[in-house]
Structure 1
Amino acid sequence: MNLELKNKLKYLALLNAIIEPEWEYRYYSYNSKWGDAEEMASLRDGCGGEWFVWFYNESIAFKCTSPVDGLVDNFQTLKDKVPRDYSIFLNEPAFSMDMGSCIWFLNNDCWQKLGNSISDLPNPETIQKMKAKDFCEFVDEIYEQEINCDLVAKIFDGKFEIEMASKINPNIDLTCLKEELLEIGLST
């Protein structure tokens, strides 16, 4: 699950970087060099919804703030139920750990879910099931653009080549995109 989820999140960040070169207008981001042996994916919807997926060796955790799905009244009670192995995650200031809707953590390849159910934003389970068609619909709805779903499918299959970026967005600056690839942890 670890590698499959990581790759899907990296491909979503890559596709979002191609479609929207300005970082502040993106939904999906990925930082493969978040910390010593740490990687981090994030989503921001521009309406107060956000989440973070944290990877550390074999540990994976997810923290979501979804105003639509509701915030937990006393978020600390959720944090207190998470094993100590996740203390780096729980104490990360960038993850806004003072409030949220839920925390998930992986235990024996099964998600332990604390807090509210999330239906307004994609979560790790729905992301793993996401198909190219789903992403193309997202782009059409959010960015009001049509993109080639066959190219998206190839990227989801790990077959990205830099020329594909120009086919998806003819105005993309490939030099900047190559720098983004390094942060995401992908190569061409």
Structure 2
Amino acid sequence: MTVHDVARRLPEITALREHCRSMAVLEAVLSPEWESRHHSFDDYWSETESMASMRSGSGDEYSIVFSAAGAYVRGFDHESPMSPYAEDGPFPGVLDEVPEVFRPYVEEPTFSDEDAMPIVTACMWRETADDRWKAGTIDFPDAATEDPDGAGYLFRLLVDRSPEAFQRWAEDYYEVPVDLEAVRHVFSSRPLTEELVRALNPRIVLADLSEDIAEIGYPTS
């Protein structure tokens, strides 16, 4: 799977935003310590932008910026043969066709290394008027694996957005049982309740999550 396959499977912008927000709040409940979380969501990344992010803990990551212009997605797989460190710069085609409205994100320091080189192996975007997600024209490496840019691995929970997929991933990552009905509740964007929090993590209460919930922008009862 490449970035082109992922782009065909992503939902429209609002649905993707809500899905990212739901994963972030589930992890806030499962892992009160922010440093241990895989998925995060900052509804106030700037005055006009929100950002969803993923950090694998081993150097892989993605960021999705949501703005009035649409959404910009950047992913980085550190083992990809398309790594900018293997190519001494972003792989040809990955960033070349990014629209002008999203060019500031290509140069965003948060998404670059200390030498201002964009840290990216996969990139997608969708303007508000677009009817689909787009990615650049890329001649993928002939000798690469089935996932040359890491998109299949990085965005797997954005492609399979089922509660069951998240439950399987979370149980493997956190090594604890994860209540499927609670995941379904959150994936439906229904408000958090004390009962739901206890079902996912009996060691905390809803009030413990007040700062996280405010940052994520998720509703509570």
Aligned partner (choices 33, 49, 66) of residue 55 of structure 1:
66
Contact kept, 8 Å, 1:44 with 1:50, in 2: the verdict is yes
Which has the higher relative contact order, 1 or 2, with Cα contacts under 8 A spaced 6 or more apart? 2
Q: How much has 1:44 moved relative to structure 2?
A: 0.2
For 2:100, the equivalent position in structure 1 comes to 84
Report the Cα offset of residue 173 of structure 1.
4.7
- Partner Cα distance (1:128, 1:101) in 2: 17
Between structures 1 and 2, the one with greater strand share? 1
Q: Equivalent residue of 2:103, what SS?
A: helix
Partner of 2:145: none
1:42 aligns with 2:57: no
Cα pair 1:32 1:39 within 8 Å, conserved: yes
TM-score, normalised by the number of residues in structure 1: 0.90
Partner of 2:216: 184
- 1:39 Cα deviation from its structure 2 partner: 0.6
Structure 2's unaligned 5+ residue stretches are 1-11, 139-148
**Unmatched tracts of structure 1, length 5 or more:** none
1:118 corresponds in structure 2 to 151
RMSD over equivalenced CA pairs, Å: 1.9
Q: Which moved more, 1:50-59 or 1:168-177?
A: 168-177
Percent sequence identity over aligned pairs: 25
Tell me which amino acid in the other structure corresponds to 1:165. V
Partner of 1:22: 33
2:90 corresponds to? 75
Alpha-carbon distance, 1:167 to partner: 1.6
Contact persistence 2:69–2:101 (CA under 8 A): no
Higher alpha-carbon Rg:
2
Moved over 4 A (4+): none
Alpha-carbon shift at residue 93 of structure 1 (Å): 1.2
Q: What secondary structure, in the 3-state scheme, does the structure 2 residue paired with 1:106 have? A: strand
Distance apart, 1:26 and its partner CA: 0.5
Deviations 1:55-82 (A, max 9, x none): 1114111100012443142317533421
1:140 Cα shift? 1.3
CA contact 1:69–1:119 (8 Å) conserved in 2: no
Aligned AA (1:182): A
| Number of corresponding residues | 186
SS of residue matched to 2:52? strand
